[in-house]
Amino acid sequence: MSRRVEFHAETWPLKEPFQISRGVKTEVTVTVAEVSEGAHKGRGESVPYAHYGENAEAVIAAMKSVQKNLELGCSRADLLGLLPAGAARNALDCALWDLEAKIAGRTAFDISGAAAAREPNTALTIGIDTAERMAAKAVQLKDCKLLKVKIDREQVVEKIRKIREAAPSPRMIVDPNESWDIELLEQVHKDLAALGVDMLEQPLPAGKDEALQGFVSAVPLCADESCHTRADLPRLKGRYDIINIKLDKTGGLTEALALKNQAESMGFRIMIGCMIGTSLSMAPALLLAEGAEFLDLDGPVWMERDRDGGLNIDFGAISPPSAEFWG
């Protein structure tokens, strides 16, 4: 049976500005792929990321470049060889997973063999602001299980101290988004450990993190921008303890599952992350949640509105969507 393939971009407003070390977002543009076969339709969403040289137009053009292959029955395995890792392949790969599940009348969990996490719980994120405003946000989130704090080079220890005073119970991730150098890391890592920080995510720029080789951090280090696919893992040994798997970096769930398996076999601890997007971006990532030490899938929390039937997130506790929504 022939397939029908469609692509489009959508812009979704955020309910408040989201600031990291690289800038501020007030809306997010996503790209959506829909692959239909008979009465069944699979959907996938990705988030073009300017930091990786992506935009919606280029992502849609990349998807259109393989449209004929998809219409002729291209598989997920075939797709790995047709497009590089990134947002275009992610949307298509996730759409093919969804389509396969709906045609088979099974869930994506069943098809993949992945176990569902019993009580998936995501980090809730505090964006960069003044120390006082960040602490005020922490008060609102003090009863969640995991906080993620975006930070730059300014008042690092002071801000984390105020946040910890405001929210003494949650585990905490601190994420500089590549804005530090090794000198700053050396200055603050012991203080952050003393404040109960559980993980420091990508402190140094990707491609300039060789200074981490052999560095003994008091806080476990996680590779985010430095880790996209399995090909990155060998050079991360001795630099990072944890890897952050995001579908938009791996180019879909197929590579993400393989990356997780290989990383675990090499002794890396696992974080599952996201770009800010709707629940259609988050749902496939739940197949990676079991066994992951950290989940950061709060993208929909930042949206002014989400897709109907998406994830419900209550102080970090995730209620997954139905298989009709995705997978």
Active site residues: 150, 246
Whole-angstrom CA distances from 88 to 32, 43, 83, 273, 279 are: 9, 13, 8, 18, 18
Q: Note the helical H segments in the chain.
A: 56-65, 67-71, 76-82, 87-104, 108-112, 131-140, 156-166, 182-194, 233-236, 247-250, 253-265, 279-282
Q: Which residues contact 56 (CB under 8 A, 6 or more apart)?
A: 9, 29, 31, 48
Number of helices (H), then strands (E), in the chain: 12, 13
> DSSP state, 321?
P
| CA–CA gap between residue 20 and residue 160 (Å, rounded) | 15
CA dist., res. 226 & res. 207, Å (int): 7
Cα–Cα nearest to 294, from 140, 167, 125, 138: 125
Give Rg (Cα) of the chain. 19
Residue 87: phi and psi, rounded to 5, are: -65, -35
DSSP 13: E
Task: Name residue 13's beta-bridge partners.
Answer: 27
Q: Residue 56: phi, psi to the nearest 5?
A: -60, -40
